[in-house]
Structure 1
């Protein structure tokens, strides 16, 4: 006779019904029944060395697969160690469910081990944070968690269970689990008509495609819309790759000119935050500010700090389909934009040509750009590139252009360092046949490098490239500019992070000669193990920035 199912069994069974294929965790007794459920249900468990990596791995899974991710954290410090990962998922709109253990209900208030009320800690950074009410409601609670995480606008949900409730017998769901995604939100046709009117009046439009275009599975219709109207395009976040490197409409390398001289900027699937100059475009040489259109997957994501010329909210596939029809009705002519597109394409080509010398630089110490010049030679079309760092990864954002959508991961607008190893774990599982490349600043490496052990134990080869300039570059250079000195900005020069990787069972090497970068990268890709190419770079070189974020 089959043993009665406990609450952990039921929670895992419902999770699998929602497409969960991996449980990311760090072992803890409060959540043993969830592990037992995973064993019973055949759900793979990937255990990490720090809870933040479990949440980052779940978040990257959601962003790469466009299905929910699952992290399981034990009570108290196990849960609180995951807060930064949940905050990152919140800012990225990633559908992640974090299940936490919780001190027993039977001992609540008596000072049990790791007794703390978790949900209030997560309330500001989740769509929903709650405690399961008991064994009888586990199936319903887990269903609600996943439904909420997946509903527009996607985001993280935290659900914890009292330990004694998890161990208790629990009934299976009393109905077939409904795992279909919510019905697509239809955009308002009048709002789309207004956007089309603005396009009909514009001479210098720019279209920005952000992460939610990818997450809404709208990349193909967005590309078709841009190509039909011959719109210059700039890509943001996971929108990178929607137009592949070299596409004639891709003008990211002329970003400054595009944003400063545009008369209309349409931002789709991205917030008007610091990365986009807070939505203030145009205005160069006394010209008026550009009119701004904001397109979002849900009304909650439309900007509130400024008044755009037009907005529309809805499933972004439907938004772009509707815009195509509205633009045809409004008589929008792609010919109007041709002179503007030609100017931007010329500026972008000039920027690329101007970079050629530094991308092949033989300078000693090594210029960071030389690393990307060599990396671009060996990246496959389906490579997943992950950025975790400051100045070093900023260069990657400029000089590594994905060839396919959904192949770029960075921390997003929250800017949390330490995402890299968790993201790498998830990427290798989600894309088993692709190159997975993790770009680490030497500062960022200190947050999560111990999780190379996770890569090794679970047989997950990843190529890690560490831009090692021996400083906190994002802090040292601005402090020098402001004060004439810097403090708390030094790291050990040429620290042997590669030897850390080797000690944990991977491979690695230190590179100080620019001519050795290419051969070292090829050895890394050929190794079949987690491998770090630790490259000593010039600490005097800072990535150029301005104060607006444009």
Structure 2
């Protein structure tokens, strides 16, 4: 359910205006790093009584990643508040990540005072132009009595399809000034009903296809369409490949789940209906089919908003709007060909063969440790509602292959922007948003260097999470490609077996180094039982590089 526009009266300084509206939009936590330009926002959060939790981090980027992950997990925008100048510039990568992920997010920034603008003030910078290319809107509010409406608009825009980040900064003097504001009723969100003709055309294409395939992405979860997506796949008997937060729409072991047979599914399909994810590099830019001399597949793109439709290839069909309505419309109208039964059998066999082939790696006793063994052990201890966070390169690629979430929305990774350092922010948000669930952050040792200091934040705010570090002592995504291209590599080495676990312990958490594959399972159980932020730092074999058909270069 979308929160309606704010309506009512607010009296007080600019911070009071902003916080009252944020609370209306479901904000209960403000992620921030202390800065004088935004003190009125803190004052409004705690005075005359605490109404919004202040969760302070050690780097503004972590604040934005945490707020973004709140959006991913709750399907409602999170809030980050940062001070002016470097506080804002420090969040650019986090905002870009939310932009590429389609995550609802509001970032409120401080700004040098209007009253002396242009006189060389501390941290005087026109900030919205920096954020404009990676936000739905980036703007400045220059009047105290306009702050409430601007913040309301920011949340409505961030939460509206297609979701994304909104940036708003307020000059320091306007934030401290007082105002009385009365906001009346405002227009309701626009109708998102899909074009019936477009839905009927997709149904027709499904009826003509011999080997149709659904691809479900993150927007299936974000748009609240996961139940409709499962239902239409089961009603029509069409195999499904999932990615992003769409993972778990079909639970592990479901007979239609073809993610483990992804190569065969993408290579042999004659129609691919992509729902809720862009046709980007993660799914071959939408170039499906072509295996064994077959023609390229027809492609249908179903998106939550028209501007998200792929423009780089000719689509056989497309529909936009409320994804539940689109999927239900397809399910009501489509009548798959009888040949789909043989297609299901083919992909089920390929998936079973892939799973059987994985068994040896998942149980490997190799020394040094094979990364797959970690996931063989982790799968044994994960609950159905566990939130699994991936922050890394090769190590997290293995996780994407071997970890199958049992529920949608519970897999978090950096997404197509590929920004390392999301792990601690995502873990903070997951612990707050899912207080009774296991939270596991999977970190490559390279990624750990970006955000591990925010273990201090986990400790100070009493947020226990389990961190698993795949520590191979290299930049794996770079070392192998450089060797392939040049026959040598440079600046791809890290210190082997760096004691990241001791860093966590020094910051007040727990941890241990694991070098024996037989000790992985017991270490994970100790981590989950510890009740504190706990690092299981596992020394893995640098020679085990995640296999790719292309090296991404």
TM-score (norm 1): 0.97
The 2-side partners of 1:438 and 1:173 are apart by: 44
Structure 1 contact 254–348 (Cα < 8 Å) conserved: yes
- The corresponding residue for 1:216 is 223
TM-score (norm 2): 0.96
Task: Kindly indicate whether residue 458 of structure 2 is the aligned counterpart of residue 458 of structure 1.
Answer: no
Give the 4+ runs in structure 1 shifted more than 4 A: none
Deviations 1:51-84 (A, max 9, x none): 0000000000000001111000000000100000
Q: 1:162 aligns with which of 140, 164, 171?
A: 171
The 1-side partners of 2:282 and 2:336 are apart by: 30
- The corresponding residue for 2:20 is 13
Task: Report the secondary structure of 2:139's partner residue.
Answer: strand
Q: 1:146 aligns with which of 139, 155, 168?
A: 155
- The corresponding residue for 1:545 is 548
Deviations 1:491-542 (A, max 9, x none): 0100000000000000000000000000000000000000000000000111
Task: Kindly indicate whether residue 493 of structure 2 is the aligned counterpart of residue 494 of structure 1.
Answer: no
Residue 287 of structure 1 deviates from its aligned partner by 1.5
Task: Kindly indicate whether residue 354 of structure 2 is the aligned counterpart of residue 351 of structure 1.
Answer: yes
Deviations 1:109-162 (A, max 9, x none): 000000000000001000000001210111111111111111211110000000
- The corresponding residue for 2:242 is 235
- The corresponding residue for 2:119 is 110
The 2-side partners of 1:366 and 1:284 are apart by: 35
Structure 1 contact 361–367 (Cα < 8 Å) conserved: yes
Q: 1:311 aligns with which of 318, 321, 325?
A: 318
- The corresponding residue for 1:511 is 514
Residue 10 of structure 1 deviates from its aligned partner by 1.0
- The corresponding residue for 2:6 is none
- The corresponding residue for 1:339 is 342
Task: Report the secondary structure of 2:169's partner residue.
Answer: strand
Structure 2 contact 28–51 (Cα < 8 Å) conserved: no
- The corresponding residue for 1:394 is 397
Task: Kindly indicate whether residue 431 of structure 2 is the aligned counterpart of residue 424 of structure 1.
Answer: no
Task: Report the secondary structure of 1:250's partner residue.
Answer: coil
Identify the range of structure 1 (131-140 vs 431-440) with the bigger mean alpha-carbon deviation: 131-140
The 2-side partners of 1:91 and 1:433 are apart by: 29
Residue 334 of structure 1 deviates from its aligned partner by 6.1
Task: Kindly indicate whether residue 291 of structure 2 is the aligned counterpart of residue 284 of structure 1.
Answer: yes
Q: 2:82 aligns with which of 73, 76, 79?
A: 73
- The corresponding residue for 1:252 is 259
- The corresponding residue for 1:126 is 135
Describe the shift of the 1:61–1:184 C-alpha distance in structure 2 as closer, same or farther (beyond 3 A): farther
Task: Kindly indicate whether residue 184 of structure 2 is the aligned counterpart of residue 175 of structure 1.
Answer: yes
Q: Pairwise mapping of residues 32-47 of structure 1 onto structure 2 (< 5 A)?
A: 32-40=39-47, 42-47=51-56
Residue 177 of structure 1 deviates from its aligned partner by 7.7
Task: Report the secondary structure of 1:486's partner residue.
Answer: coil
Structure 1 contact 17–177 (Cα < 8 Å) conserved: no
Structure 1 contact 228–334 (Cα < 8 Å) conserved: no
- The corresponding residue for 1:94 is 103
The 2-side partners of 1:126 and 1:19 are apart by: 21
The 2-side partners of 1:172 and 1:465 are apart by: 49
Task: Kindly indicate whether residue 207 of structure 2 is the aligned counterpart of residue 200 of structure 1.
Answer: yes
Identify the range of structure 1 (356-365 vs 317-326) with the bigger mean alpha-carbon deviation: 317-326
Q: Which runs of 5+ in 1 are unaligned?
A: none
Structure 1 contact 231–334 (Cα < 8 Å) conserved: no
The 1-side partners of 2:480 and 2:452 are apart by: 25
The 1-side partners of 2:191 and 2:387 are apart by: 29
Task: Report the secondary structure of 1:516's partner residue.
Answer: helix
Q: Cα RMSD over matched residues?
A: 1.3
Identify the range of structure 1 (516-525 vs 186-195) with the bigger mean alpha-carbon deviation: 186-195
Task: Kindly indicate whether residue 371 of structure 2 is the aligned counterpart of residue 361 of structure 1.
Answer: no
Task: Kindly indicate whether residue 198 of structure 2 is the aligned counterpart of residue 191 of structure 1.
Answer: yes
The 2-side partners of 1:171 and 1:304 are apart by: 47
Structure 1 contact 95–154 (Cα < 8 Å) conserved: yes
Q: Which runs of 5+ in 2 are unaligned?
A: 1-9
Describe the shift of the 1:541–1:62 C-alpha distance in structure 2 as closer, same or farther (beyond 3 A): same
Task: Kindly indicate whether residue 477 of structure 2 is the aligned counterpart of residue 474 of structure 1.
Answer: yes
The 2-side partners of 1:11 and 1:442 are apart by: 39
Task: Kindly indicate whether residue 280 of structure 2 is the aligned counterpart of residue 273 of structure 1.
Answer: yes
Deviations 1:242-268 (A, max 9, x none): 001111110101000110011011100
The 2-side partners of 1:78 and 1:58 are apart by: 15
Q: Pairwise mapping of residues 368-379 of structure 1 onto structure 2 (< 5 A)?
A: 368-379=371-382
The 1-side partners of 2:483 and 2:69 are apart by: 36
Count, aligned residues: 541
Residue 241 of structure 1 deviates from its aligned partner by 0.5
The 2-side partners of 1:173 and 1:356 are apart by: 64
The 2-side partners of 1:362 and 1:23 are apart by: 45
- The corresponding residue for 2:233 is 226
Residue 176 of structure 1 deviates from its aligned partner by 5.7
The 2-side partners of 1:407 and 1:359 are apart by: 22
Residue 488 of structure 1 deviates from its aligned partner by 1.1
Residue 400 of structure 1 deviates from its aligned partner by 0.2
The 2-side partners of 1:501 and 1:183 are apart by: 48
Structure 2 contact 459–508 (Cα < 8 Å) conserved: yes
Q: Pairwise mapping of residues 22-41 of structure 1 onto structure 2 (< 5 A)?
A: 22-40=29-47
The 1-side partners of 2:410 and 2:421 are apart by: 19
The 2-side partners of 1:64 and 1:170 are apart by: 35
